[in-house]
Chain A
């Protein structure tokens, strides 16, 4: 998942509005009539309501335009894709497609579709609807729709559009997607321009969920405005009429207050929703989320502060942990001296006491990272150079490097807490102390996370920085491919050997061969030391007692239809 969620820009405003939302939601919950209203509306058996708090509002409820977790959480309930990930894992399972086959050259994919499914607006789901959606993404045009701030996931997976805008001539290439044909109502054939090992896995992303063609057209889903940096969505689709096939249907979005979803009584799938009304609110402040849970204003929340974990469990709340599917790292811009010197980079790697950092600042379950991808994912190598804490070695390397008075500008973000970095300032202070102990001079630099910090990072002006990544789907390409497949300003290095190896591994379609290729690449990367990965964490979610069935997912594919509520 991309770290720069557009939602963060409204971070402060939402803090206050989230509180308002809570008081409103709480009033609703106390109303004895609420559970009854559901039964009169549809034939479903779902009852009751559940209020869940994230840290920000969705940006827009349309998978094609978002890359942040808060939008995706809501989108996952309303929409489905052709395939999905298993509950609690990363294996690919059928969703709207029941089965699929591919030709030997890997270019033609035939998807058999679920029969008898309708969208929430009663538009039938069929092969034409599937092709409509693929053609929609492929034909996004103009500098706003094609900017990385809007159609990010489409670009990372498909690489280009029907007509690439001149503004992105450098970054966009030939599209992986060529065409889609509805051979009959329940068969869609998708043709690619080249084989891709990540195509099917990537289709589990909410960015590629299938939306009702009727609603997309009627409510102007493709009307974008603003600019490439900060796109705006001018149609009402993503705010008032998101229409999918999922277990929950969109009811209303009181902007700045809450998003309300209602159980889809005609849901086709196996997991019928048992909670009638699902309400998402935004509470930006971590301690405020905890207080809201403790006072009963919400039923659960995401991004539990590690410091609160024990207290919440002792008080009878349920704490669930997502499998570690992220990495927190110290990034280097290897083009800025003295970090252009491999000995200096390795000195940093040896100087940082990762075990101490993890035990001090992370909840139980956090693992020391040795490379830029979690061990759960294939391609992880057990024979990379590990740079275990060794200050003497760091001092030796610094002496050998010939750099006198090594001085580093070290950046950390403020106003943010990420799963891989609950307290960036704390991490910063510990790492800084470690570096100073072996003879570095560290200049402290900080900036608010969004947009200043991330913008400076992408522009490559930060010499050394704290950052991390949460995986979107179960493929190493989504980790090391994202970081190192091309020359990027924030890393600042140009190592064609690494770039080419990653290109080859992505194009390879044999799974077993890929495992070996990625393991080798991980070793190459850690030999170069473009940064110091130090942690994989298990982010926690909290619920009040009586909420059951929630299945934490490494890729945040969490289905509220599985959740049951008892008072």
Chain B
């Protein structure tokens, strides 16, 4: 890394705070007054909290035998076992709680990987333009033409059954979304007067891009990130449901728990309901919060 690049990075961080500061402050002010956003935020916070402290609050370990079951008699919710027992006699509540961490982990890691890839491509395309832009965007168009989950299944199946391949698969699906979003933002900013002004005073292109255009383009990406977390959690559950999750079946995963419940739908419906609700809860929290965040950050919604 050359010295000027390093400087540019430091500058970027500072610039982002400067330029974004008032915008985020304004957005935060509006979010605090929005009951939907607060609900969504609280759901997200609860989900993250459970994911972090799960092992300490779960009444049983993930493989502990909590009670006796037979194939035709799997006890449902009771005062002793709030979510009932699963098909192996384990406490369903504990497994739902412990599954949160797996969901959050897959969601966050795949989001971060997807963002890094998407932002890199988006900045390259948006800043350089020309044939680089055309090449990147055509590839992205091709990838976007394939349905997301289908593409993720293909990637995960090719990489083999493991948690890492699930994360990579979901990240790969998210890359084009972020790349396209950022490029679009940067293109619209590039024509803005302040950019012309910056260029006309002789600033180098790299400085203009990182210090001025990028910080002004980033807020939709943050919103998209929140919303993508919701789909990443659903996608992770979907892949696990299809048998593409981690190799160790005793690690609780909501999607896999849902898949395993299929054989017991007639006798033990609770095995489908609770992991299903958990997935809905986490995804809904991120969606509600993300939607309101989008509105809060978007000048058009300013009241």
Contacts and interface: CB of A to CB of B under 8 A. Distances in A.
A426 B70 CA distance: 12
Interface stretch (B107-115, B168-176, B259-267, B285-293): B259-267
Nearest to B72: A310
B255 to A, nearest CB: 14
A307 B69 CA distance: 11
A429 B250 contact: yes
Q: Interface centre among B247, B262, B263, by most A CB within 10 Å?
A: B263
A286 B72 CA distance: 16
B13 interface: no
B239 to A, nearest CB: 14
A486 interface: no
Give the secondary structure class of B's interface.
loop
B63 A429 contact: yes
A444 B250 contact: yes
A428 B71 contact: no
A548 interface: no
Interface residues of B, number: 24
B88 interface: yes
A553 B32 CA distance: 71
Given A309-B71, A362-B71, A356 B264 contact: no
Interface string A290-311: 0000000000000001111111
Contacts of A426: 87-88
Contacts of A415: 243
Interface centre among A356, A423, A428, A433 (most CB of B within 10 A): A433
A414 interface: yes
A363 interface: yes
A423 B68 CA distance: 17
A211 B264 CA distance: 44
Nearest to A425: B249
Interface string A414-450: 1100000011011011101100100000001110000
A356 B69 CA distance: 9
Contact of A433 (B63, B247, B265): B63
Nearest to B246: A444
Interface in B63-89: 63-65, 68-72, 87-89
B248 interface: yes
A361 interface: yes
A544 B68 CA distance: 31
A360 B267 CA distance: 14
Contact of B263 (A286, A362, A414, A446): A286
Contact of B72 (A311, A425, A436): A311
A446 B266 CA distance: 28
A414 B88 contact: no
Given A307-B267, A423-B263, A446-B247, A430 B88 contact: yes
A171 interface: no
Contacts of A428: 249
Nearest to B70: A359
Interface string B232-252: 000000000001000111100
A309 B264 CA distance: 12
A307 B250 contact: no
B88 A360 contact: yes
A444 B63 contact: no
A306 B71 contact: yes
A426 B243 CA distance: 14
Name the residue among B71, B248, B266 with the largest chain A CB count within 10 angstroms: B71
A432 B64 CA distance: 11
B161 interface: yes
Contacts of B63: 429, 432-433, 436
B243 to A, nearest CB: 6
A415 B265 CA distance: 19
Contacts of A305: 71, 263
A287 interface: yes
A363 B260 CA distance: 18
Contacts of B69: 360
A363 B247 contact: no
B66 to A, nearest CB: 12
14 contacts: A286-B263, A287-B265, A306-B72, A311-B267, A359-B70, A360-B88, A361-B87, A361-B88, A362-B71, A414-B243, A423-B87, A433-B64, A433-B250, A444-B248
* Across the A-B interface, the 9 shortest Cβ-Cβ residue pairs: A433-B63, A306-B71, A444-B248, A310-B72, A307-B71, A429-B250, A444-B247, A425-B249, A311-B266
Interface of A: 286-287, 305-311, 356, 359-363, 414-415, 422-423, 425-426, 428-430, 432-433, 436, 444-446
Given A306-B72, A360-B70, A432-B250, 5 more contacts: A308-B266, A309-B72, A426-B87, A429-B88, A429-B250
